[in-house]
């Protein structure tokens, strides 16, 4: 949950009791990649620079999701299960892997599956500033056999050794990773400060990695619904099969967002709930219509390319919303009816509707827009969640054309929403929230 932002664990005191079987809730701090807390923070970048960069990364994420859900039968043996552009991420996560725990700064991606790191020896790995993980120094490291169910969830060819699961990922930009699938302990800290150790978590140990991976990261944490993802492996051990997040607005570089695992993350208060489906390990919803305040309703087709039950992917790592051409065209018409500001043009022609503003945007001149999901779940989004500053004195509707690709409900629209995933039902709940205070 490419919700792409840095994830860092909320740490408590070190001298805590270890819980081998975790049955509690815990939270993780989410820090935007452009925040001063992030190693990717660029002090010279302006808010417009950051906004443009997020739009570019969003385009990469949308293409990656489309490639994933629309791939047809006849997948080659070494096809990628998670086709990402490694540098298009919005989040990082600090993982503590092994016994004793070894800290790894990993890309966190709701559209990826495997948890992996570069491991010793790694003579053909991309250069990283942090040390490689050394499995020989961990007493909890165990390789998985080739015939294990978790191994079957990964792209791999005939195993040279049946006792060892070897995998190969070929990412969409040409980057690759090769390694061995093992199990390891992951250590987190509960909200109360207790040390929680999750044992036998599937973990990929890279022997080779190449491409555009950043030297400031040391791995990747998949947060999809795949059997090998962090979510699928950890949530069943908690007091409730539930996780949620609350995303601070991109303009707030001082506050941090948060993801909560277990019952402490349940969305409460005035909320709406809609049923969720899992489509190729991604979370999908059924969007029925979009309503523009003061204008009218835009109907949404019941089906979408690559999706069987839902018609839109909910993704926290994609910045923009992506809608089918016809839906987007109707939405642009409806918004244009109620906004009196002069029209402008997106310099890169990614965003279809922009307006000229003088000085700081007057958000009151832009409409609220409601996304209505199945089950009468209406999520009313403020102008700050539906429009982005795109250039000097230009504000644009934060929606792009999905064309023949898969529609996406992105993270700008999810700002200041507490979004909860109940994996038992399964369903997603939304509630308005001040995410700086959650």
- Residues serving a catalytic function are 109, 315
For residue 298, count CB atoms less than 10 angstroms from its CB and return exposed for 0-12, middle for 13-18, buried for 19 or more. Answer: buried
Give the C-alpha separation, 309 to 430, whole Å.
20
Which residues make Cβ contacts (< 8 Å) with residue 318, sequence separation at least 6? 2, 3, 4, 58, 61, 62, 65, 408, 410, 411
Q: Which two tokens stand for residue 27?
A: 């939270």
For residue 246, count CB atoms less than 10 angstroms from its CB and return exposed for 0-12, middle for 13-18, buried for 19 or more. Answer: buried
Give the C-alpha separation, 141 to 398, whole Å.
45
Nearest to 18 by CA among 157, 199, 165, 171: 199
What are the DSSP calls for 373-417, one per residue? ETTTEEEEE-HHHHEEEEETTEEEESEEE-TTS--EE-TTTTBTE
Q: Which two tokens stand for residue 197?
A: 């150790």
DSSP summary character for residue 249: P
Q: Coil, strand, or helix at residue 333?
A: helix
Q: Sort strands 142-143 and 176-189 into parallel, antiparallel or unpaired.
A: antiparallel
Nearest to 402 by CA among 328, 323, 327, 287: 323
Give the C-alpha separation, 170 to 384, whole Å.
37
Q: For 377, how many CA atoms within 13 A lie in the half-sphere containing its CB?
A: 19
Helices assigned H by DSSP within 37-189 = 47-69, 149-152
Q: Sort strands 287-292 and 369-373 into parallel, antiparallel or unpaired.
A: antiparallel
C-alpha dist (Å) from residue 386 to 243, 263, 320, 322: 25, 30, 9, 12
Nearest to 176 by CA among 187, 167, 184: 167
Q: Which two tokens stand for residue 322?
A: 């992506």
């Amino acid at each position: 949950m490419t919700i792409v932002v840095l994830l860092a664990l909320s740490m408590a005191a070190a001298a805590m009791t270890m819980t081998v079987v975790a049955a509690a809730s815990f939270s993780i701090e989410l820090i935007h990649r452009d925040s001063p807390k992030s190693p990717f923070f660029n002090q010279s970048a302006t808010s417009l620079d950051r906004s443009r960069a997020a739009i570019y990364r969003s385009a990469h994420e949308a293409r990656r999701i489309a490639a994933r859900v629309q791939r047809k039968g006849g997948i080659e043996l070494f096809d990628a299960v998670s086709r990402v552009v490694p540098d298009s991420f919005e989040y990082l996560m600090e993982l503590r892997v092994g016994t004793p725990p070894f800290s790894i700064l990993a890309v966190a991606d709701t559209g990826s599956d495997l948890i992996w790191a570069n491991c010793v020896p790694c003579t053909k790995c991309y250069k990283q500033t942090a040390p490689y993980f050394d499995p020989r120094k961990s007493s909890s490291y165990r390789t998985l056999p080739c015939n294990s169910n978790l191994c079957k969830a990964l792209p791999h060819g005939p195993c040279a050794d049946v006792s060892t699961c070897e995998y190969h990922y070929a990412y969409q930009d040409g980057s690759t990773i090769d390694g061995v699938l093992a199990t390891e302990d992951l250590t987190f800290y509960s909200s109360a400060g207790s040390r929680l150790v999750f044992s036998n978590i599937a973990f990929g140990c890279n022997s080779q990695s190449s491409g555009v991976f950043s030297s400031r990261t040391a791995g990747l944490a998949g947060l999809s619904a795949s059997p090998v993802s962090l979510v699928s492996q950890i949530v069943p051990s908690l007091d409730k099969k539930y996780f949620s997040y609350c995303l601070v607005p991109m303009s707030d570089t001082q506050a941090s967002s948060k993801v909560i695992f277990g019952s402490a993350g349940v969305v409460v208060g005035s909320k709406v709930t809609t049923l969720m489906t899992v489509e190729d390990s991604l979370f999908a919803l059924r969007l029925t219509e979009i309503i523009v305040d003061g204008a009218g309703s835009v109907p949404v087709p019941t089906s979408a390319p690559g999706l069987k039950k839902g018609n839109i992917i909910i993704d926290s790592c994609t910045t923009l919303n992506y809608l089918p051409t016809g839906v987007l065209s109707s939405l642009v018409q409806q918004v244009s009816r109620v906004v009196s500001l002069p029209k402008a043009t997106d310099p890169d022609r990614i965003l279809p509707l922009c307006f000229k503003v003088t000085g700081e945007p007057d958000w009151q001149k832009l409409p609220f827009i409601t996304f209505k999901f199945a089950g009468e779940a209406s999520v009313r989004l403020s102008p700050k969640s539906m429009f982005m500053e795109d250039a000097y004195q230009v504000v644009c509707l934060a929606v792009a054309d999905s064309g023949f690709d898969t529609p996406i409900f992105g993270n700008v629209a999810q700002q200041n929403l507490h979004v909860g995933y109940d994996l038992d039902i399964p369903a997603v709940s939304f509630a308005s929230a001040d995410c700086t205070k959650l």
